[in-house]
């Protein structure tokens, strides 16, 4: 009877240890930021965003230069014109300032929206690939390795890249 108890306890320990090993074996990690950074579609998207940003920057600089030139001209002529003209010019300068600030704010919003529109489908594609590779390799959990303090298990980043075609 005592031997059976000992045998049962030993069997439970072996089964418990086996479960722990199986649980660890079914967890992998992947570096999503590396995949996104090297993904050809993401590189194309970054180039598009950079071109758009450059265009906005050029337009913004042009508006600021026009504003500064007009302000300098008006300041130089302020003593030679009437108060009514100076009032109109002051209002015009304020309107230009508002247009510049509005342009900058709208450009930033448009860039953020464009980035979101481009990145979201790419992220979904990466997520689907991670799920596909993870399931094919028999993993129950796939964690993002960039946020892990210790990533000692299987790394499926290369497999996901291969699945995505790069």
Distances, alpha carbon 12 to alpha carbons 5, 26, 163, in Å: 11, 21, 40
Query: 5 lies in a domain?
Result: no
Query: 31 lies in a domain?
Result: yes
Please state the pTM of the whole predicted model.
Answer: 0.68
pLDDT in tens, 14-66: 555 545 555 455 899 999 999 999 999 999 999 999 999 999 999 999 999 99
Query: 110 lies in a domain?
Result: yes
Query: What is the total count of domains within the chain?
Result: 1
Angle, helix 83-136 to helix 40-77, in steps of 10 degrees: 170
Could you tell me which residues come within 8 angstroms of residue 71 by beta carbon, excluding any fewer than 6 positions away? 93
Could you tell me which residues come within 8 angstroms of residue 32 by beta carbon, excluding any fewer than 6 positions away? 126, 130, 144, 145, 146
Query: 16 lies in a domain?
Result: no
| CA 57 to the chain's CA centroid | 21
Written as one string, the DSSP assignment of 68-81 is: HHHHHHHHHHTTTS
Q: For residues 151 and 22, give the distance between their C-alpha atoms in angstroms, rounded to a whole number.
A: 17
CATH code at position 98 = 3.30.910
Tokens in use for 28? 């992998």
Tokens in use for 42? 């993401």
Q: Decide: helix, strand or coil at residue 166.
A: coil
Query: 12 lies in a domain?
Result: no
Identify which of 108, 106, 118 has the alpha carbon closest to the alpha carbon of residue 46: 118
Which domain, by its residues, includes 88? 23-164
Query: 137 lies in a domain?
Result: yes
Query: 18 lies in a domain?
Result: no
* CB count in 10 Å sphere of residue 159: 19
pLDDT in tens, 114-153: 999 999 999 999 999 999 999 999 999 999 988 888 878 8
Query: 30 lies in a domain?
Result: yes
Q: For residues 126 and 132, give the distance between their C-alpha atoms in angstroms, rounded to a whole number.
A: 10
| CA 127 to the chain's CA centroid | 14
pLDDT of residue 19: 54
């Amino acid at each position: 009877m005592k031997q059976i108890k000992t045998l049962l306890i030993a069997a439970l320990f072996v089964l418990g240890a086996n479960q722990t090993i199986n649980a660890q074996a079914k967890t992998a990690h992947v570096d999503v930021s590396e995949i996104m950074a090297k993904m050809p579609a993401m590189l194309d998207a970054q180039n598009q965003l950079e071109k758009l940003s450059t265009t906005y920057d050029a337009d913004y600089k042009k508006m600021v230069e026009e504003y500064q030139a007009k302000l300098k001209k008006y300041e130089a002529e302020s003593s030679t014109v009437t108060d009514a003209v100076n009032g109109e010019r002051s209002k015009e300068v304020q309107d230009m300032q508002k247009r510049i600030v509005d342009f900058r704010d709208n450009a930033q919003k448009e860039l953020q929206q464009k980035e979101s529109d481009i990145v979201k489908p790419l992220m979904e594609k990466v997520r689907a690939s991670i799920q596909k590779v993870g399931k094919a390799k028999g993993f129950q959990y796939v964690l993002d390795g960039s946020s892990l303090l210790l990533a000692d298990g299987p790394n499926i980043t290369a497999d996901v890249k291969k699945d995505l075609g790069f």
